[in-house]
Amino acid sequence: MNRSALALFVALTVLFLAACQPATDTNRNLAAASSTPAKETFDPAAIEAELLKLEREWAAAAKNKDAETARRIVADDAVLVYPDGTTGTKADEVRTIESGAITADEWEMVESKVTVIDADAAFITGRSTIKNGKYKDPNQARPIDISGEYRFLDVYARRNGRWQVVASQATRIANPAPSPRTSPTP
């Protein structure tokens, strides 16, 4: 065998042997890829407490003209649906709070219920009562009375370790039932 034939033989043998690697067990790899990942453990009671605290802070932010709290709690991409059916953004919410357009003697949350979906998602439903509430719309001469009772739904997501409102809707209760505290006693 001449040198060039020997070199070609060696090269082909190396390529052949390189191609003859042991087969990988595709069933094992498929099983590993399709196995359910371990669920993240989380404390629903701790999430509930945190979100109720944030809800109270957000309500107080409007009353106290604390726009910084709204910036922290409301996500940049949040969608807000107001009782009159209009929609707003985080920027709208912050602007309203900064301007002092909303005033109220009292803003009470009752019947709040937190539903924890998972470690990063939850929502709150409940009822709010606003006493002596006013909204100063820049397009109207007189403030709008916003006193009354409302049902609300606020959706929270945990992003970068921080809970934020990503969607919110409030609906005015047209004919609220008297609460036990305001019912006349016989």
DSSP 102-156: EE-SEEEEEEEEEEEEETTEEEEEEEEEEES-EE--TTSSSPEE--EEEEEEEEE
Is pLDDT at 178 greater than 80 in this prediction? no
Distance CA 110, CA 182 (A): 14
Q: Is residue 184 assigned to a domain? A: no
Q: Is the pLDDT of residue 131 over 50?
A: yes
Assess if residue 1 is contained within a domain.
no
pLDDT (0 to 100) of residue 106: 87
Chain mean pLDDT for the chain: 82
- Over 80: is that where the pLDDT of 15 sits? no
Model confidence at 125: pLDDT above 90 = yes
Stretch 148-165: mean pLDDT = 97
Report helix, strand or coil for 2: coil
- What confidence score (pLDDT) does residue 5 get? 44
5 within a domain of the structure (yes/no): no
CB 134 within 8 A of CB 126: no
Residue whose C-alpha is closest to residue 164's, from 21, 57, 84, 20: 57
CATH of the domain at 107: 3.10.450.50
What is the edge-to-edge ordering of all strands in the sheet holding 148-159? 87-88, 74-81, 162-172, 148-159, 121-131, 106-118
Does 181 map to a domain? Answer: no
Q: Stretch 23-44: mean pLDDT, rounded?
A: 63
Q: What is the pLDDT of residue 77?
A: 98
**What mean pLDDT comes out for the span 127-134?**
92
- For 52, 134, 144, 185, the CA distances from 181, given in Å and listed in that order, are 22, 24, 27, 10
* pLDDT number for residue 176: 77
User: Is 143 among the domain residues?
Assistant: yes
Q: State yes or no: pLDDT of 9 exceeds 90.
A: no
Domains: count for the chain: 1
- Which residues does residue 124 pair with via DSSP β-bridges, in sequence order? 114, 154
Q: How confident is the model at residue 2 (pLDDT cuts 50, 70, 90)?
A: low
Q: Is residue 16 part of a domain?
A: no
In a domain, 149, yes or no: yes
| Domain annotation covers residue 117 | yes
Q: What is the per-residue pLDDT across 66-115, written as a single tens digit (0 to 9) for each? A: 999 999 999 999 999 999 899 999 999 999 999 989 888 888 899 999 99
Per the structure, the complete domain to which residue 58 belongs is given by: 44-172
Beta strands 162-172 and 106-118: pairing type?
Answer: unpaired
Q: Among candidates 108, 70, 73, which has minimal Cα distance to 92?
A: 70
Q: What is the CA radius of gyration of the chain?
A: 30
Distance between CA atoms of residues 82 and 26, nearest Å: 54
